[in-house]
Structure 1
Amino acid sequence: MLRVTVELWPGGRGSARRVIATADIGRVKDGALADYQVDLQEDLLGDVGDMAFVRSYPRWSASVWDLVARCIAAALSGGREELPPRPVLPDVPAHTASGNRRYVRLREIPEPARTFFQRNIANSGRPLVEEDPDPLDCAWAHDWSDFLDGQR
């Protein structure tokens, strides 16, 4: 079995490193043309993509990184050895509350950005927007912009 580990090194410091994702790749059929199974895990999201297979892979014909890339692509694209369309920044509308206070609704932020953003603002002040249908499900629009720009 191969295990590919993705570590985050905040500020380039190995002492603060933490694992944020893994890919487990197991050979399920031997031979010159082997079959592999892959499972992707992410710290915040758990399973990523579907359990996938790369079938009839010609062993010893390329770098191990070729196998890893194909396995990750298969898990992210429903079993095809191709990458899904490149993601784009989430288009989240900013709303305006009384007093020209701009905010975003957390429920309108798609995953996985919502989970990362919620963790990022967990100890920050948030607006209570009484005119919103879910007044506690809001965050400041400037916090969302700063998060997307890497400033938070």
Structure 2
Amino acid sequence: MLRVTIELWPGGRESGKRVIATADIARVKNGALADYEVELRESLLDDIGVGEVAHVRTYPRWSASVWDLVGRCIAAALNGGKEELPGRPVLPEVPVHVSRDGRAYVRLREIPEPSRTLFENNLRGSGCPFVLDDPEPRDCAWSHDWQDFLNGYR
């Protein structure tokens, strides 16, 4: 089995490293044309579907770098079993709302996954607005916090 580990080194310092994702690749059929299973795990996204098993079938062993196999396995896991990358993601378009008192906010329920989960985890311990004129007043975040998150400042 191969395990690919993704570590985050905050500020480039190894001392603060933490594992944020892994890919487990297992050969399930031997031979010149082998079959593999791959399972991706991401520490912040376990609850939204990451972790499903994908397959790469009849892979010609010893014909390319191990990175070719790893790349194809990751692509298959991300794209419903196809050995190609899905379309390039784009920043989510999230409407900014303005409360009656003029404060700009976003509705968490309008942020698509996985951005919503990542942003909510990022907000832990931060102050969030209670917007009385919103139908779900506790489901909001400051617009500037959302922009800071997208720009990598939070």
* Both proteins in one fold, TM over 0.5: yes
Q: Specify the alignment match of 2:30 in structure 1.
A: 30
2-structure distance, mates of 1:78, 1:146: 32
Q: Contact 1:5 / 1:19 at 8 angstroms: preserved in 2?
A: yes
101, 104, 125: which one pairs with 2:103? 101
Q: What TM-score do the two structures reach when normalised by structure 1?
A: 0.97
**Could you give the per-residue CA deviations for residues 94-149 of structure 1, whole angstroms, max 9, x where no partner exists?**
00101211000001111111111111111111111001111000000011011101
CA contact (8 A) 1:33 1:59 kept: yes
Counterpart residue identity of residue 33, structure 1? L
Structure 2: which amino acid aligns with 1:30?
Answer: N
Alpha-carbon distance between aligned partners in 1 of 2:148 and 2:28, rounded to the nearest angstrom = 45
1:45 aligns with 2:45: yes
Normalising by structure 2, report the TM-score: 0.96
Per-residue deviation, 1:52: 0.8
Alignment of 1:83-98 (within 5 A): 83-98=85-100
| In the alignment, structure 1 residue 148 sits paired with structure 2 residue 150 | yes
Measure how far apart 1:58 and its partner are. 0.6
Count of matched residue pairs: 152
Q: Note the C-alpha offset of 1:50.
A: 3.4
RMSD of the TM alignment (CA)? Answer: 1.0
Q: Match for residue 12 of structure 2?
A: 12
Whole-angstrom CA distance in 1 between matches of 2:144 and 2:84: 36
User: Counterpart of 1:136?
Assistant: 138
Query: Whose strand proportion is higher, 1 or 2?
Result: 1
Looking at structure 1, the residues matched to 16 and 131 of structure 2 have their Cα atoms a distance apart, in angstroms, of: 37
What SS does the corresponding residue of 2:50 show, helix, strand or coil? strand
Measured in 1, the distance between the counterparts of 2:36 and 2:71 equals 12
